[in-house]
Every structure is written in structure tokens, then in C-alpha cells.
Amino acid sequence: MIGPLSDRRQAREWALVLQSQQIGYVLGWHADELARGWVLTVSPEDYAAAVDAIDLYEAENEDWPPKPIRDRPRHAPSLSMPIAMALVALFFFYVTGPADAGSGWFARGRADALLLTSQPWRMATALTLHADAQHVLGNALSASIFGAMVSRRLGAGGAVLAILLAGILGNTFNALHHLPGGHLSIGASTAVFGAVGLLAAIQTVLLLSRREGERRRLRAIDVVAPLVGGLALLGSLGAGGGNTDLWAHAYGFLAGVGLGLPLGLVVRRGSRPSRLVQAVTLIAAIVILGGSWALAIVA
């Protein structure tokens, strides 16, 4: 008699093991004052073979099913993006004002497809210009939310630099898309959707890694789910309003995905970048944006 087992499912698994080895058995409930549970009764001559088969089965499945690997962010919550967007909002309210006020900042800093090759810094400066208060406050809120999520993956400095680069690339692709015709663009929404693309791509890489770690079969849904989620956000958040630049949003998202895939491989390694790296990336973002405005002013 093998057992008793309190778990009927385990008893049935053991029965299937014996059946696979062509060992006869009887599965039944054993009621006794000292031992109660499910038991497998085998003939005396098959007892040793039955025990060996069950022991081998348990040894092979000791760590199965694998425990789910928790996806833990590498960095503590950061205020880097909320602070950055607060500065953009202050820049609007105290320096540039709305676009229809005729401020010279817009003429110098807006993205202009016809000036892409001669004044490429406009692809960066345009991210800090907004048409009206609703525009800047909406982008500030969205960028703070998604930027905070990116910072949990890339750190404070890494998130700011990655989102800025995604916005610059998105504006560049948008300008190229409209050539040889002209196209003007302003607003941080391109960078906001760059952050969405970064999140979608990084999460895709991490999900693939988690599937490998859990030794589970990779499914197509595992690859496309985060990207589809990002596209859903693009559709729901990026298609509102008559003045919405849909192509800028789309290219911002694609730029974020393009940057997020290799960055996801870095995050996948699990090592946390040092404070020095975070400081350098944050300074790099400040230099890129500040330098772009310096060039715009003197041009």
C-alpha cells in the first residue's frame, strides 16, 4: 500500500505514473484512526518498482510548476519627470505665453519640417512650447504619470533622457514624413507618447524574459500584448481635438518602442545603474535641451 495522501489530485497523478509503467493498482480511500487518505494498493512483487517510479516522478517535478517571477521595478519612485514638466509649465506661463499671443519664442523654437536640416535643434525646442494652458497642463499631467513609470525602469536620469530622445526622434520622423511640404509642430505630447512606447517595449522584453525564466512556452500574445496596450493608449489619448498632430503622436510612440527594445535588454540584466550614471544621463538631457534653445536664440 502506497500512501495515504490527503490530496486526491496527487493520488491520481501517482496512479497515472503507475499506469504509464504498466503496474497494476487500486486507488481507494483508506480510513484508519492513525492514517486517513487516498492509497494505491499494488501487488507485493510490484511494490518496489511502483515506489521507484513514483520517487523518480516526484524528483523530476520537484520544482514544477515553477514559481512566478515577480517583475520588480529596479528604481524607487522619482519626481524627475513631474519636476521637468513643472518647469515646462512655468516656461509657458511666465515666458512664452500661448501661441496666439505672437511670442517670438514660437518662431524660433517650433518644429519646422522645411528647416529640419538647417536648424535640427527645433526638434528638441518644440517639445517645450505649447499652444495654450490646456495643452501644457494636459501634457504635464500625462508626462508626469508615464514618466514616473519609466523612471521605475530606467531611473530618474535615464527616464528623462530616454523620453527626451524619443520626443526628438518623433518630431524628426514627423518632419521627414511631411517633406517636401511644410509642417509646423509644438508640444510635449510627442515625448509623452515616446514614454508610452518606451513602457510598451520594455515590458515586452521583460515579459519574454519572465517566460524564459519560468520555462513556459512563449505565446504570440506575450509579445504583442504590451505593444497592443500601448497602441490602445495611443488611440484613446492621441486622437482628441481638432489641432491634434496624430502623426507626431504616432512617431513619438514608434520612437519610444525603438529606444525601449534595447533599453529593455539592459533592464533585463537586472543590474541597477549607479548614481553617477543617473546623474550623467540627467545632465545630458539638460545639455541637449538647453543647448538646443541656445542655438535657437542665436540662430
- Residue 65 belongs to some domain of the structure: no
Among the listed residues 137, 125, 146, 171, the one whose alpha carbon sits nearest the alpha carbon of residue 81: 146
- Residue 71 belongs to some domain of the structure: no
Claim to verify: residue 52 and residue 87 sit in the same structural domain: no
DSSP 3-state of 25: coil
- CATH number, residue 25: 3.30.70.1530
Q: 78 near 145, Cβ under 8 Å?
A: no
Claim to verify: residue 102 and residue 166 sit in the same structural domain: yes
User: For 74-125, how does the pLDDT look when each residue is reduced to its tens digit (9 = 90+)?
Assistant: 788 888 999 999 999 999 999 999 988 888 999 999 999 999 999 999 999 9
Identify the H or E element spanning 38: strand 37-41
Among the listed residues 228, 153, 225, the one whose alpha carbon sits nearest the alpha carbon of residue 195: 153
> CA–CA separation, 270 vs 259, rounded Å?
18
Most confident of 31-40, 130-139, 289-298: 289-298
- Determine the pLDDT at residue 36: 79
- Residue 72 belongs to some domain of the structure: no
- Residue 107 belongs to some domain of the structure: yes
- Determine the pLDDT at residue 116: 94
Claim to verify: residue 43 and residue 98 sit in the same structural domain: no
- Residue 139 belongs to some domain of the structure: yes
- Residue 48 belongs to some domain of the structure: yes
Amino acid identity, position 42: V
When divided into structural domains, the chain yields a total of 2
Claim to verify: residue 110 and residue 225 sit in the same structural domain: yes
> CA–CA separation, 57 vs 53, rounded Å?
6
Residue 283 has pLDDT above 90, yes or no: yes
- Residue 232 belongs to some domain of the structure: yes
Tell me the pLDDT of the chain averaged across its residues.
86
Q: How far apart are the first and last CA of the chain?
A: 91
Kindly state the percentage of the chain with pLDDT values over 70.
84
Q: 169 near 127, Cβ under 8 Å?
A: no
Claim to verify: residue 260 and residue 227 sit in the same structural domain: yes
Claim to verify: residue 237 and residue 113 sit in the same structural domain: yes
Claim to verify: residue 51 and residue 138 sit in the same structural domain: no
Claim to verify: residue 54 and residue 85 sit in the same structural domain: no
| Domain coverage including residue 213 | 80-298
Claim to verify: residue 271 and residue 165 sit in the same structural domain: yes
Claim to verify: residue 42 and residue 103 sit in the same structural domain: no
User: For 262-279, how does the pLDDT look when each residue is reduced to its tens digit (9 = 90+)?
Assistant: 999 888 887 677 889 999
Q: 113 near 183, Cβ under 8 Å?
A: yes
- Residue 206 belongs to some domain of the structure: yes
Claim to verify: residue 124 and residue 272 sit in the same structural domain: yes
- CATH number, residue 112: 1.20.1540.10
Claim to verify: residue 265 and residue 118 sit in the same structural domain: yes
